[in-house]
Amino acid sequence: MISAPVPEQCNTLPMQALPGFRDFLPDDCARRNYIFARWREVARRYGFVEWEGPPLEATELYKKKSGGEIVEQLFNFTDKGEREVALRPELTPTLARVVAVHEREFKKPLKWFSIGQFFRYEKQQRGRLREHFQLNCDIIGEKDLAADIELVAVSIDILRAFGFTEKDFVVRISDREFWTDFFRDENVPAERWDDLLQAIDKSAREPREKTAEKLGDLADPVFATLKSGGKSAKLEQLVEGLRARGLADFVVIDVGIVRGLAYYTGIVFEVFDRAGKFRAIAGGGRYDNLISQLSDGAISLPALGFAMGDVVLGELINEIPRAREAIQKATANDRKIDIYVVIAKEQRRADALKQIQQLRDRGYRIDYPLTPTKVARQFQAAEDLGARVALLFGDEWPQVKIKNMATGEQQLIPTDNFMSRVESTLR
Amino acid sequence: MISAPVPEQCNTLPMQALPGFRDFLPDDCARRNYIFARWREVARRYGFVEWEGPPLEATELYKKKSGGEIVEQLFNFTDKGEREVALRPELTPTLARVVAVHEREFKKPLKWFSIGQFFRYEKQQRGRLREHFQLNCDIIGEKDLAADIELVAVSIDILRAFGFTEKDFVVRISDREFWTDFFRDENVPAERWDDLLQAIDKSAREPREKTAEKLGDLADPVFATLKSGGKSAKLEQLVEGLRARGLADFVVIDVGIVRGLAYYTGIVFEVFDRAGKFRAIAGGGRYDNLISQLSDGAISLPALGFAMGDVVLGELINEIPRAREAIQKATANDRKIDIYVVIAKEQRRADALKQIQQLRDRGYRIDYPLTPTKVARQFQAAEDLGARVALLFGDEWPQVKIKNMATGEQQLIPTDNFMSRVESTLR
């Protein structure tokens, strides 16, 4: 979805997007819209309603609660009014802010989703972008595990809508409470928990010695638990809930998942391609305390959510033939127009434009040559644009020739019966 | 479309969006999506294809060519890599940049549209935002007036799609060449032209004396021309082209329109509500030299386009009953789910979830209570969510009660014939 990587620099003005930012040419934009449409469609099947926050927020909204990598890579600056602001790195703090103020206007639980662009500033590396689009789905006001099951289920069904099966991706589910219970059993003081969780989060991506050093005296029992997998009734109940929906094959319990963000409190999960080739496709979990923390305890609502980005998802779509063919077919069809109007005689241009206007008013997608053009080139354009029929205005006037572009079949239709004949050919 | 204006400040963390930025709660978001859908639908009827640029660009992209108010109100900053960057105030320079690099990949003329968010930093005033969404439609590679006619026509038809008529809005068309010809006739040196055009642009909004001072010796002839209306064969031809499409009643010639942006070269137009209550709904024109200027003459392509923002459009929708009722009806329908599943006996929850999964797989929008809930409250939820049918899983199992929410009619259906019976009720 990235446009040509090294366009020529033809003068002193910038001829490329900023590093890490994408231009979406029509084909890229069609792919992006296809992804957005699947996201929206499945979220709505689950009764989620769409909302959106602003792309710029006060920096402190993230500094205090997000923690970890997100704050290190904040795309922040001081605005002309001396405000510390940041291009949003994630949606959850905005959601917590909006819900804390507006929650009385809505019945609980809220099931909200959002599709928007997010930003980070990090050292430039090949294939690492500074912006991406994300779907966020959140459920607010329900502490029961049923909400966690519903959330994992919608994340699975969204990926199924792209043509992926249980052979293509897996949801790794875990529970922060599993580890906080573990720390409590091991008599670890609470102030060490956050650092330990971060060390466990990174353990799969770091050398064992480095993790061991961070874990200290807990290294042996933590490694043993990661190896044996741990036992959790709550996680097994989550799997059973998905089994009732026929979705159990899409999940595995993996207590090694704890997520980088500081605000998670319970169930957490990440979605990976089965082949382990890409970074996480999606991730999320419970953040039962965030709304209360942001509102100084004024509003307390349990909450959970996940985000799925367009970049890794796009890579996986390219990797899996079923998904790749589905997006190719859909975007090719989406590009097609209904009717190309061939103006074979310039004297007929005004007549043609009158009909074009009426056909467009009925919702048909129509193109035509803006200026005098050879008829053969016009039919070529009709084909290039994927027109289903061509309408030729020429010598036959006041009859119009209609050509079915798929079959090549041609007919003459009188203008007094024009609209119904065109519509029946298109049907 | 702005959320509650003064939410309570309940703690030290920001509980509101930044000044001039909007939160889109579900109703606001549905209105926004309705506007986007009309924009997209009509642009595509005209054969425009969608693309998108990045929200952040190098500041110099705007400083050199946009001119006027846009540069004064640039939302710009220095990023962590010491780059001068700006949240985009408009799309045209990005389009010129992208087209200059990629034009060889596409047949001309290009007809491209884009829907995205734009930004400006200005002193805060009531009702003046720092962000808004804009539709941009551009035609690249066609110098003929036919392209100008097509562009004005699509702007009219987009507004018609919201339910507006010629009684609600008017397109004021003008031509910068009319004025440059005029200056040439008056022997005005070319270096004064830009300032004079800016003075004429502001003349309707400024005291006559202030405009007269800027115009100097040209004040009398310019005022006389603005009063008499001027004569332009090109503008009359444009009106005739729209008349052929039945759209002439939507336009008037008004040479007082010259547009604030520096890069326009020919036909320019602005769309206003007939009552003159609001700022411009849309505006645009020809910028035949911009691509060449940005590419240092390497690529020369005539071009024209317009932008329409969501804020003034939203105000006009609220003002005109036909448009207001259309958006209310559409967003109310859009919110509705298909099926609410009532779980009357908790023993039936697993059975219900199995059917919910299958119905969602078929694309239906379904909600249900996540936790045990009184049956009356469940039916209330079904009504609140606009469900067309309720499915009740209870004592009747293995039959399911289906209730048509509009008629109140109820039936028992066996689970072996479940899917087809549900689907026939929904049809």
- On whether any CB of chain B is under 8 Å from the CB of A46, the answer is yes
pLDDT band at A389 (very low <50, low <70, confident <90, very high): very high
Per-residue pLDDT at A67 = 63
Q: What is the pLDDT along chain B (427 residues), one digit of tens a residue?
A: 343 333 444 345 678 999 999 999 999 999 999 999 999 999 999 999 999 999 999 999 988 766 667 778 899 999 988 999 999 999 999 999 999 999 999 999 999 999 999 999 987 666 679 999 999 999 999 999 999 999 999 999 999 999 999 999 999 999 999 999 999 999 999 999 989 998 998 898 899 999 999 999 999 999 999 998 888 999 999 999 999 999 999 999 999 999 877 789 999 999 999 999 999 999 999 999 999 988 888 899 999 999 999 999 999 999 999 999 999 999 999 999 999 999 999 999 999 999 999 999 999 999 999 999 999 999 999 999 999 999 999 999 999 999 999 999 999 998 887 888 888 888 8
- Single out the residue of A260, A302, A301 nearest to residue A284, CA to CA: A260
Residue A9 has pLDDT above 50, yes or no: no
Cβ atoms B50, A29 nearer than 8 A: yes
Sign of CA dihedral A290, A294, A297, A300: negative
Residues in chain A: 427
Phi and psi angles of residue B248, each rounded to the nearest 5 degrees, phi first: -65, -30
- Provide CB contacts within 8 A for A35, sequence distance 6+: A133, A162, A310, A313, A314, A317
- On whether any CB of chain B is under 8 Å from the CB of A421, the answer is no
Residue A6 has pLDDT above 50, yes or no: no
Give the gap in angstroms from C-alpha B174 to the nearest C-alpha of chain A. 21
Q: Tell me the pLDDT tens digit for each residue of A279-306.
A: 999 999 999 999 998 888 889 999 999 9
- Single out the residue of B404, B266, B271 nearest to residue B340, CA to CA: B404
> Cα–Cα distance between B245 and A350 in angstroms, integer?
8
Cβ atoms A141, A107 nearer than 8 A: no
Mean pLDDT across A68-85: 87
- How much of chain A is helix, strand and coil, in % rounded to 5? 45, 20, 35
Chain B residue numbers with beta carbons less than 8 Å from the beta carbon of A357 are: 153, 245-247
Q: Is residue B29 within a helix (H) or strand (E), and if so which, with residue range?
A: helix B26-45
- Hey, how many other C-beta atoms are within 10 angstroms of the C-beta on B213? 12
> Cα–Cα distance between A173 and A338 in angstroms, integer?
47
Cβ atoms B34, B230 nearer than 8 A: no
Q: What one-character-per-residue DSSP string does A225-268 give? A: HHHH----HHHHHHHHHHHTTT-GGGEEE-TT---S-TT--SEE
Give the gap in angstroms from C-alpha B257 to the nearest C-alpha of chain A. 26
pLDDT band at A351 (very low <50, low <70, confident <90, very high): very high
Best of B370, B378, B380 to disrupt the A interface (most A CBs within 10 Å) is B370
Q: Tell me the pLDDT tens digit for each residue of A231-259.
A: 899 999 999 999 999 999 999 999 999 98
Helix axes B233-244, B145-160, angle to 10 degrees: 50
A-B contacts (CB, under 8 Å): 262
Cβ atoms A291, A112 nearer than 8 A: no
Q: Which of A134-148, A361-375, A397-411, B408-422 has the lowest mean pLDDT?
A: B408-422
> Cα–Cα distance between B328 and B324 in angstroms, integer?
6
- Residue whose token pair is 């690249």: B140
CATH architecture of structural domain B26-329: 2-Layer Sandwich (3.30)
Give the residue from chain B lying closest to A337, CA to CA.
B47
Per-residue pLDDT at A308 = 98
Per-residue pLDDT at B9 = 41
Mean pLDDT across A19-23: 95
Per-residue pLDDT at B66 = 63
pLDDT band at A209 (very low <50, low <70, confident <90, very high): very high
- On whether any CB of chain B is under 8 Å from the CB of A328, the answer is no
Alpha-carbon distance values, B213 to B112, B216, B227, B260, B376 (Å): 41, 5, 18, 19, 74
Cβ atoms A379, A328 nearer than 8 A: no
- Provide CB contacts within 8 A for B84, sequence distance 6+: B58, B59, B60, B76, B78
Residues in chain B: 427
- Flag whether the ipTM exceeds 0.85: yes
pLDDT band at A63 (very low <50, low <70, confident <90, very high): confident
Per-residue pLDDT at B8 = 40
Per-residue pLDDT at A274 = 97
Alpha-carbon distance values, B387 to A47, A55, B405 (Å): 11, 33, 7
Q: What one-character-per-residue DSSP string does A265-320 give? A: -SEEEEEEETT--SS-SEEEEE-TTHHHHHTTTS----EEEEEEEHHHHHHHHHHS
- On whether any CB of chain A is under 8 Å from the CB of B246, the answer is yes
Cβ atoms B49, B24 nearer than 8 A: no
Per-residue pLDDT at B10 = 39
Domain A336-426 has CATH 3.30.260.10: no
B342 bridge partner residues: B392
Residue A1 has pLDDT above 60, yes or no: no
Residue A160 has pLDDT above 90, yes or no: yes
Give the residue from chain A lying closest to B131, CA to CA.
A54
The amino acid sitting at B427 is R
> Cα–Cα distance between B118 and B66 in angstroms, integer?
14
Interchain pair B371, A146: CB under 8 A: yes
Per-residue pLDDT at A149 = 98
> Cα–Cα distance between A125 and A277 in angstroms, integer?
18
Give the gap in angstroms from C-alpha B256 to the nearest C-alpha of chain A. 28
- Hey, how many other C-beta atoms are within 10 angstroms of the C-beta on A187? 6
- How much of chain B is helix, strand and coil, in % rounded to 5? 45, 20, 35
Per-residue pLDDT at A421 = 87
The ranges assigned to domains in chain B are 26-329, 337-426
The amino acid sitting at A316 is L
Mention the CATH class of domain B337-426. Answer: alpha beta
A348-A354-A357 Cα angle (round to 5): 135
The gap between the terminal CA atoms of chain A, to the nearest Å, is: 34
Say how many CA atoms lie within 13 Å of A398 toward its Cβ.
5
> Cα–Cα distance between A395 and A393 in angstroms, integer?
7
> Cα–Cα distance between B150 and B252 in angstroms, integer?
16
CATH topology agreement for domains A26-329 and A336-426: no
Q: Which residue has the higher pLDDT, A330 or A231?
A: A330
Q: Which residue has the higher pLDDT, A105 or A12?
A: A105
